[in-house]
Structure 1
């Protein structure tokens, strides 16, 4: 089965290689010369022009977008829309907001173009060897593309979540859960690091990843990172917060659902980016004022 892919970043490129290895006829568009050279070496058909890319696909076409959420997706759809035909399928495999996916599905339907939103999980390793795919969209269109989802997932980690927007809604909640799980692992390691005995955290995580209740992909990745650098000395403790967890918390508020773990993990990421730590300075100043407690001046240890 043929699949066109646009977006050769950290997820798109391994996804293309995964599809190639699983027997799909992968055709790629990218305007990056280095990626084109790499793909040609891998034996994948690649185009530098969008028109030639679409023309190379056999109707009804299937085009998978693996690009950043938001305006870039709308911009690419605007370029593709006049080149595609009724019956073609456009797939958004990025982390778009589910309301955007619902809107895009409705807009494309007017041209007879089908739209599927696919939440893609598993990181770069999953994209390369078997991703988790959460699909939203029309059931019949999903059925047409199921061989592609089966191939890219490795045969099991895929499914239709519901109508348009459902795939990205489920992925949004997935990422919120991921934030909470990551925060819990990080906090546990921090307690161990300050514990009454000199724990080797790389050894601890290696043990935890084999048969424990907290084993899993996140623990595997943590253990791999600590095996390379047990003290994580080269890493600054600033953690980015992507849109999905923000949207998860917003949705929880909108629905009146309590989600304190996800919310706290999100706020912890916000705090990690605070270089000045003004709130902590304010607390120190208050303690000095009401109790005469000493403060540590800037530049002191």
Structure 2
């Protein structure tokens, strides 16, 4: 296939490389001219031959709408725009409705795989109409891992990004559990090799996973994580997962706690813990540390 790809950062650039290795013609556009294959969005579309023309957008959620509106002015009946970024699912139906009068179809694709996707493939969760999914299927087949799994047509518009949002919420909770377990092991004086404990779980254990492998990689590089500050940002999907759970009255305590713990990590000196320390001092005479 031929496809335009807007946004050639850590994910988009590797996706372009993997697709080209599979024999597809990818015309990329990026604001950085050193990595771009075209000078403008219009130039990128002009390089796409035949119909339908397919353009995959891989940019931050904050600018997705402006980029889609920009590329849509150069497309027409039967063409397809794909948003493959970590976008809020509730924006997908309005985007599809906005493009429909021009005859342009829209797919939302949740993409997981990070910087390892180039060699391992990407997990793809797709939302949209079956006919459009079928058109783009060769692209999806090239991006997904080899084997039976790694791709799902999750449902209509919004389903792909909703599935990816829940995926990331689960990811938050699993990472938090590993982190808490690691801290507890580090605090136990009689456990002499925490790194190897984590390593031992990688085979035969019910908690073995790619995230565990990545945790061991990090410990191999810095055994006690002394070079890393305990700060973790959130890119939005964790918040959206909790918000969706509230809207649907679904309890997600593990995911919610992992999200709020990330907020705690950003505080040099937690105000809430000041009050906890103060109350413990008041009722029990427990010592407090003074600034």
Q: What is the CA–CA distance in structure 2 between the aligned matches of 1:74 and 1:266, rounded to whole Å?
A: 26
Q: What is the CA–CA distance in structure 1 between the aligned matches of 2:128 and 2:223, rounded to whole Å?
A: 44
1:64 aligns with 2:56: yes
TM normalised by structure 1 equals 0.92
Give the corresponding residue for 1:91: 82
Q: What is the CA–CA distance in structure 1 between the aligned matches of 2:287 and 2:183, rounded to whole Å?
A: 26
Where 2:152 maps in the other structure, the secondary structure is: strand
Give the corresponding residue for 2:167: 174
Taking structure 1 as reference, are residues 128 and 35 closer, same or farther at Cα in structure 2, changes over 3 Å only? farther
| TM-fit CA distance, 1:14 | 0.7
1:40-55 equivalences in 2 (<5 Å): 46-55=37-46
| TM-fit CA distance, 1:241 | 1.6
Give the corresponding residue for 2:229: 236
TM normalised by structure 2 equals 0.95
Q: Which runs of 5+ in 2 are unaligned?
A: none
Q: What is the CA–CA distance in structure 2 between the aligned matches of 1:128 and 1:183, rounded to whole Å?
A: 26
Contact 2:57–2:68 (CA<8 Å) still a contact in 1? no
| TM-fit CA distance, 1:196 | 3.8
| TM-fit CA distance, 1:121 | 0.6
Deviation track 1:61-113 (CA, whole Å, cap 9, x = no partner) reads: 1111111113x001101211111111111000111111111110111111100
Contact 2:95–2:106 (CA<8 Å) still a contact in 1? yes
| TM-fit CA distance, 1:2 | 1.1
Contact 1:90–1:115 (CA<8 Å) still a contact in 2? yes
1:212 aligns with 2:225: no
**RMSD (CA atoms):** 1.4
| TM-fit CA distance, 1:161 | 0.3
Give the corresponding residue for 2:290: 297
Contact 1:15–1:128 (CA<8 Å) still a contact in 2? no
Q: What is the CA–CA distance in structure 2 between the aligned matches of 1:265 and 1:98, rounded to whole Å?
A: 21
Q: What is the CA–CA distance in structure 2 between the aligned matches of 1:215 and 1:179, rounded to whole Å?
A: 16
139, 153, 165: which one aligns with 2:158: 165
Q: What is the CA–CA distance in structure 2 between the aligned matches of 1:297 and 1:135, rounded to whole Å?
A: 53
1:20-31 equivalences in 2 (<5 Å): 20-31=20-31
Give the corresponding residue for 2:281: 288
Number of residue pairs aligned between Structure 1 and Structure 2: 288
Taking structure 1 as reference, are residues 128 and 31 closer, same or farther at Cα in structure 2, changes over 3 Å only? farther
Where 2:34 maps in the other structure, the secondary structure is: helix
1:1-301 equivalences in 2 (<5 Å): 1-36=1-36, 46-58=37-49, 59-70=51-62, 72-155=63-146, 156-298=149-291
Contact 1:129–1:152 (CA<8 Å) still a contact in 2? no
